[in-house]
Amino acid sequence: MLHTMVDEPTGHHSATLIFLHGSGGAGVTVRSWIQECFARIGDEEGLQFKHIKVIYPTATPQPYTLTGGEPSNVWFDRVALQLEAQEARKSTDKMLEMLAELIQVEIDAGIPPSRIIIGGFSMGGSMSFHIGYRKRLDLGGIFAMSSFLYDDSAVYPDLKELKKKNSDVTMPELFMTHGTQDELVLFQWGRKTFEKLKELGVKGRFHASNQTHLIRSEELVLLKKWVLEKLPSNLISKL
C-alpha cells in the first residue's frame, strides 16, 4: 500500500482528487509546494475543499536508471528522458496496480469512479495517463502538468484496442498544462502527447504557458477551476 498524505474535506465527502508528485518527490513535498503557490496569490484555501478529499501518495522507492540505479521515489523507471526511448513497462504496470488499489479504496468507501480525478506533475502526470486510458476509463478526469508519453507507450495501443472492442466507450476528460520554456520535458513532447490522445478520441484542454519545468500558481488556478467544474458539490442547499 502506498504511503499517502490526505487533506480531508471540511464537509460531506462526495469526490476525490489524487495528485501524484514528480520523479524523486513525495506527497508531502508536492502538497507543500502547492500550498505555497496558492498562498503567493492570496488563496489560503488552495486545493482544500468542502466536498473533495485530496490524496497525495508517495511512490514506493525503486531503482531508477537516470540516477545510476539508486533507489528513488519514482512511479516507474526511465532508461532515458527522450521521446523515442523505450517505456519501462514492468515497473509502470506494477505501480499501475498499486494506484488502482488506491482508487478502489475510494470506490469501496462510496465514491463513484466518475467523482474521482487523478493527475500530477511531470512523471506523476505521465503515470496518470496509464491509469486513465489503460486501467480506469470510468474516472471523472485526468490531468497532467509538464508531462509526456513515450512514442512507444503502451497507452496508445491499449486505448486503441479498447476503442476497437467498444466504439462507444467514454474516456476521462484530459486537462494538460505545459511551459513553452520547459528545459527538461520539452513543450513539444507534451503537445504531441495531447494530440495523439486526441486522435484516439480523448477530449480535453491544453494550456501553454511561458514557464520552465515547475508547478506555478497560474497553472494551479486553472486546474482548481477545472476540478470544480468536473467535481461540483452534489449537496443541495436548503433555502
Every domain of the chain and the residues it spans: 3-230
**Where residue 235 falls among pLDDT bands split at 50, 70, 90?**
low
CB atoms within 10 A of CB 56: 26
Does domain 3-230 fall into CATH 3.40.50.1820?
A: yes
Is 21 one of the catalytic residues?
no
Query: Is pLDDT of 228 > 80?
Result: yes
DSSP secondary structure, 110-173, as one string: T--GGGEEEEEETHHHHHHHHIIIII-TTSSEEEEES----TT-THHHHHHHHHHH-TT-----
Q: Which of 122, 147, 153, 209 is catalytic?
A: 122
Is 51 one of the catalytic residues?
no
Is 72 one of the catalytic residues?
no
Query: Is pLDDT of 239 > 50?
Result: no
CA distance 125 to 185: 12
| pLDDT at residue 104 in the model | 97
CA distance 6 to 215: 20
Residue 188, all three cell numbers: 513539444
7 forms beta bridges with 54
Q: Which of 114, 138, 213, 217 is catalytic?
A: 213
